[in-house]
A and B are shown apart, each in its own frame.
Chain A
């Protein structure tokens, strides 16, 4: 993405000083600021418990912020979480579906919950083909699916929802290389179609491969934001590891 334009498109996903402190006193997120524009993949990079999932949950309205605001498609999540969720597709790690339903039935059900009450079978089938699910899986109960097939179905559900914004919580973790490659290709296509994608991951290589913007989260704080253009000149791996160790040398280097 070219961010040097004079009038960049409005962000679809936006966090303004977004903070979250849980009841036990732990600070999950500390004044997060980010903006994801149409056709952009923003990668939130961080270790477990860095606050990535908390950030996604705040965008989904699954938990309420302690301070700050989250917006999706211009809708304030706290003010109208349902409308915000209507504009969001969500794929998480180890995505869960109803085991007793077929893939087709699951897709139809979640499409309805997403606000699409009339989805024809052809569209559902097309979504499943897009993510690389074999035809025989369409009418198969999900209990017979492998982990990879479930993840693909999760992506298919996101496609069917036709939401302008995607939230992805480490959706490629633990998948075999072939499935990962297929889904990475899919994400590129989704980006091409103009969706704004916020991808939370701890996988550096995915971040490097997919991200237009990378934000490194550590203990709830955004410690570094860098763009695809900057990544060409940055050793992301070294920078990330430096941050995880608490060093600052890479930050200086990256900023330089």
Chain B
């Protein structure tokens, strides 16, 4: 590409691009390929919105059931019995599942923890639906961006350069007073437009469908939707550029299509699958053998009825509590280490899968939306932190009772005063803000920008050197 040609200010170069783009668009819009792409993208995005809105309603319905049961459990509780009650921390139904589901339907969404060292805290998956039924790939915008947009870009662009070359149309075009960069820019813009129009239409219908289902998005959520939508449009540039590189490097349309099909299968199927296989070898999870004793402390005989224990100011019980609490801390530390290891393994899988640009798009979209592993990590961290809030509350109530032996947190040796159910702190989950999501996505977004620039430059360079000689 010659900078001199780019620098012309008489407007003619851009008029040339406009004329060529209009022609390319005309060719594409009349093609079956474009209509198929339009139908698939719009249909998938609309259906995904309907499915996710319905799913959200179902999930939202499950949440009050858990909270009502919990309210019943603590309705007549004493301060002491609050230590034995499993307090639920619920990850709320993911409102932006239509945007980036991020495996929120598979990962645990309830954490139950009692303050007593006897009770083992557990993460549970309490999702609506038949758990034995294998969930297929969740339909969301990221699915469209990663899978459909990339495939559509390849289908629309595989013969963008080599097709006209074979028909000798490229020779006639380049014999006119146009520069090569103008021709390729027109192709890039036209193919991108043929992806952008269906994507924007699908996104609009998707949002309209959500509104029909009564899911009103907040301002912050709309910002996230906009950011992910912009990411989709940006990713389309990358996919089109890749298609143009292949089309310019391979001189026959059928071979170009085959090459792009292989690229797509490798990027969408093989690389993610391989990363899933490799991860446990690189970063295995800690074994469970031998930690049973640590995770479940044995009940000892050092617990006496309170009236007996009061005689020596609960000396044995205090010592037993100290031992049990220490055991619990050790076991809890081990449990948390395992959860951290699982999250780390999942992160490594994602990192390896990011060798595929399609999965890099997925990762960026999930981070922008505040979904995926970032949301899971936040839930785990907040659920663990919730224990301290509960402990502080029960401790405060217990300290207010001079008759309590204050053996934390063993219900029989804590205050027997009634606890005010409404005052018991409830778990609240703060979703990741769009600004925080943007910060989280900065690195994968930067990589995507670099990839897009490299692919676009490669497309232009390949076309500059492209031999237009076609079949006579």
Contacts and interface: CB of A to CB of B under 8 A. Distances in A.
Interface of A: 53, 57, 60, 62-63, 81-83, 85-86, 88, 90, 92-98, 100-101, 109-110, 112-115, 117, 167
Contacts of A109: 19, 23
Contacts of A83: 177
Contacts of B178: 82, 85, 113
Contact of A92 (B12, B19, B171): B171
B176 interface: yes
A110 B176 contact: yes
A98 B169 contact: yes
Contacts of B472: 93-94
A62 B468 contact: yes
A113 B179 contact: no
A100 B469 contact: no
Given A92-B168, A100-B30, A115 B12 contact: yes
A85 B467 contact: no
Contacts of A95: 168, 172
A100 B22 CA distance: 13
Interface in B135-186: 164, 167-169, 171-179
A114 B5 CA distance: 16
B16 A113 contact: yes
B469 A114 contact: no
24 contacts: A57-B468, A60-B175, A62-B171, A62-B174, A62-B468, A63-B467, A81-B179, A82-B177, A82-B178, A82-B179, A83-B177, A85-B176, A86-B177, A93-B472, A94-B168, A96-B169, A98-B27, A101-B26, A109-B19, A110-B176, A112-B16, A113-B16, A113-B173, A113-B178
Interface of B: 5, 12, 15-16, 19-20, 23, 26-27, 30, 164, 167-169, 171-179, 467-469, 472
A113 B176 contact: yes
A90 to B, nearest CB: 4
Of A57, A95, A112, A114, most buried by chain B (CB within 10 Å of CB) is A112
A113 B177 CA distance: 6
A149 to B, nearest CB: 16
A53 B469 contact: yes
Nearest to A87: B177
A96 to B, nearest CB: 4
A92 B177 contact: no
B23 to A, nearest CB: 6
A100 B34 CA distance: 15
A96 B5 CA distance: 27
B174 A60 contact: yes
Given A112-B19, A113-B20, A117-B15, A97 B177 contact: no
Given A113-B177, A114-B176, A117-B15, A97 B169 contact: yes
A86 B179 CA distance: 11
Contacts of A88: 175
A101 B22 CA distance: 12
Nearest to B467: A63
9 closest Cβ pairs, A-B complex: A113-B176, A86-B177, A90-B175, A96-B169, A96-B168, A115-B177, A112-B19, A85-B177, A114-B176
Contacts of B26: 98, 100-101
Given A113-B16, A113-B19, 19 more contacts: A57-B468, A60-B175, A62-B171, A62-B468, A82-B178, A85-B178, A86-B177, A90-B175, A92-B168, A94-B168, A96-B167, A97-B169, A100-B27, A109-B19, A109-B23, A112-B19, A114-B176, A114-B177, A115-B12
B30 A92 contact: no
B79 to A, nearest CB: 81
A113 to B, nearest CB: 4
A90 B177 contact: no
A83 to B, nearest CB: 7
Contacts of A112: 15-16, 19
Contacts of A85: 175-178
B469 A57 contact: yes
B281 to A, nearest CB: 44
Contact of A90 (B23, B172, B179): B172
Nearest to B472: A93
Nearest to A109: B23
Contacts of B5: 82
Nearest to B169: A96
B23 A98 contact: yes
Of B19, B167, B171, B179, most buried by chain A (CB within 10 Å of CB) is B171
A114 B120 CA distance: 79
A245 to B, nearest CB: 24
Of A81, A82, A92, A110, most buried by chain B (CB within 10 Å of CB) is A82
Contacts of B469: 53, 57
B49 to A, nearest CB: 35
A107 to B, nearest CB: 12
Nearest to A110: B176
A110 B177 contact: no
Contacts of B20: 113
Contacts of A81: 179
B396 to A, nearest CB: 78
B199 to A, nearest CB: 25
Contacts of A96: 164, 167-169, 171-172
Contacts of B167: 96
Contacts of B168: 92, 94-96
Nearest to A113: B176
A62 to B, nearest CB: 5
B461 to A, nearest CB: 14
A114 B467 CA distance: 21
Nearest to B168: A96
Nearest to B5: A82
